[in-house]
């Protein structure tokens, strides 16, 4: 009886099933071994990143360059959408696209395929930026009414801070003057008592950076309240109540760090606050790296999942700033994020027939979108591509491929234990 029970159990095991199919023991052992390390090259990875970002950004910037963004961008709205889409969605598309491509566009020109894409997008961006604030242009964007422009003017200001020599300094003086006026016009509206305080704060920090008149109170309250909302171990609450979602990465940590970078350099705030915020963002980036599964997926939870790879902005920015902790190599971040990008974008189901992003997370999934999400909102996905701002010769791209944390853990490799921090 015992022997026959053993036989049944053996036949139900992986080894038993494979044996019954006539596979030799060596093949069985091979089938149960941990998967080998990834072998993709950094050159191939970078070309895939660049081609994907170009594919996402090109419809927005090429249409904007010729004054046809409003004419040609489709308008898809989430179920229950409650904003005035025509008044807000186009600035969303422009501000979010530029915030993500800015570091890449800041690289010098070269004759590579990637370099040609970059030069094209930069040229289109500069032409289009003039249209955005020209009242005579069909693509004149709304900064003057509704609350939502506070958000997307902030992403645009963030783009200017990330790539001043590529996107701000080349603008003509009239266009610069018009942006300054539009940014200041946003002061007649009050930001929500949440991560929105950072939107007002980064707009005013940009004005501080370029030597314009700025509102110190908006900057100060953004810094003070966000620091008060820190709940520990690399996480901030979004307002008085904690939300379990990706807003620490979509907005909170990158904008706080970049506000404090400006204000500490201008002696508006102590450098210790910048150092502290950066350490916390590095800690948060550790979580994000661990969230990448061996298959290149990540948990779908919380608000704004239609922003797709924008969920990894904090990790992407830490990599761009060369601030990754010692136990997380640039190559493992590159390989992990590459796998995510391939999982999401190495097919066509996130784009319509003309190349615009569609409402959803992975494919057409309107039900996953929030009531404030429209076509323009989706371009926050570009924020996951920030490491393209590192040159092709940087070790992020040249180091041999490496497994990321979850892939190491699930394949039986040595994996660093995670533990809380006290800063």
State the Cα–Cα distance between residues 326 and 211, nearest whole angstrom.
37
59 C-beta neighbours (distance < 10 Å), count: 22
354 C-beta neighbours (distance < 10 Å), count: 9
**236 close to 248: Cβ distance less than 8 angstroms:** yes
Q: Is the pLDDT of residue 20 over 60?
A: no
Three-state SS string across 26-43, please? HHHHHHCCCCCCCCCCHH
161 or 18, greater pLDDT = 161
State the Cα–Cα distance between residues 78 and 56, nearest whole angstrom.
20
Confidence of residue 39 (pLDDT cuts 50, 70, 90): low
What residue has token string 């052992």?
Answer: 29
Over the stretch 176-224, which tens digit does the pLDDT of each residue have?
999 999 999 999 999 999 999 999 999 999 999 999 999 999 999 999 9
- Mean pLDDT rounded to a whole number for the chain: 93
Q: Is the pLDDT of residue 1 over 50?
A: no
The CA-atom distances, in angstroms, between 409 and each of 34, 171, 417 are 10, 49, 10
Q: What confidence score (pLDDT) does residue 243 get?
A: 95
Q: Is the pLDDT of residue 417 over 70?
A: yes
Confidence of residue 31 (pLDDT cuts 50, 70, 90): very low
Over the stretch 372-413, which tens digit does the pLDDT of each residue have?
999 999 999 999 999 999 999 999 999 999 999 999 999 999
Least confident of 23-27, 248-252, 352-356: 23-27
40 C-beta neighbours (distance < 10 Å), count: 14
Q: Is the pLDDT of residue 235 over 90?
A: yes
87 C-beta neighbours (distance < 10 Å), count: 15
- Average of pLDDT values for 267-293? 98
Over the stretch 322-345, which tens digit does the pLDDT of each residue have?
999 999 999 999 999 999 999 999
Confidence of residue 304 (pLDDT cuts 50, 70, 90): very high
Give percent of the chain with pLDDT exceeding 70.
91
State the Cα–Cα distance between residues 287 and 234, nearest whole angstrom.
9
């Amino acid at each position: 009886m015992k022997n026959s029970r053993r036989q049944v159990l053996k036949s139900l095991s992986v080894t038993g099933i494979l044996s019954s199919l006539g596979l030799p023991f060596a093949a069985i052992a091979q089938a149960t071994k941990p998967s080998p390390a990834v072998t993709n090259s950094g050159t191939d990875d970078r070309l895939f990143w660049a081609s994907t970002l170009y594919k996402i950004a090109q419809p927005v910037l090429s249409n904007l360059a010729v004054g046809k963004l409003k004419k040609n961008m489709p308008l898809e709205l989430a179920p229950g959408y409650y904003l005035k889409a025509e008044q807000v969605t186009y600035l969303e598309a422009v501000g979010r696209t530029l915030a993500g491509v800015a570091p890449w566009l800041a690289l010098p020109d070269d004759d590579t395929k990637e370099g040609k894409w970059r030069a094209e997008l930069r040229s289109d961006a500069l032409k289009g930026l003039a249209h955005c604030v020209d009242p005579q242009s069909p693509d004149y964007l709304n900064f003057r009414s509704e609350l939502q422009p506070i958000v997307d003017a902030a992403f645009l200001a963030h783009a200017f801070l990330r790539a001043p020599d590529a996107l701000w300094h080349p603008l003509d003086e009239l266009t610069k003057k018009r942006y300054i006026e539009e940014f200041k016009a946003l002061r007649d509206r009050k930001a929500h008592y949440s991560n929105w305080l950072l939107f007002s704060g980064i707009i005013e920090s940009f004005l501080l950076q370029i030597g314009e008149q700025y509102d110190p109170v908006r900057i100060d309250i953004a810094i003070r309240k966000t620091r008060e909302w820190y709940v520990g171990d690399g996480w901030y609450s979004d307002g008085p109540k904690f939300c379990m979602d990706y807003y620490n990465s979509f907005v909170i940590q990158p904008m706080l760090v970049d506000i404090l970078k400006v204000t500490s350099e201008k002696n508006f705030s102590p450098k210790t606050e910048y150092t502290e915020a950066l350490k916390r963002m590095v800690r948060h980036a550790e979580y994000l790296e661990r969230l990448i599964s061996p298959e290149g997926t990540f948990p779908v939870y919380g608000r704004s999942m239609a922003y797709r790879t924008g969920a990894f902005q904090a990790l992407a920015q830490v990599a761009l700033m060369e601030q990754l902790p010692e136990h997380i190599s640039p190559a493992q971040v590159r390989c992990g994020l590459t796998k995510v990008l391939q999982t999401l974008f190495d097919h066509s189901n996130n784009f319509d027939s003309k190349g615009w992003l569609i409402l959803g997370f992975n494919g057409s999934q309107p039900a996953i979108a929030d009531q404030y999400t429209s076509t323009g909102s989706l371009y926050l996905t570009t924020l996951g591509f920030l490491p393209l701002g590192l040159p092709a010769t940087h070790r992020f791209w040249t180091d041999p491929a490496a497994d990321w944390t979850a892939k190491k853990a699930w394949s039986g490799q040595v994996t660093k234990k995670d533990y809380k921090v006290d800063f």
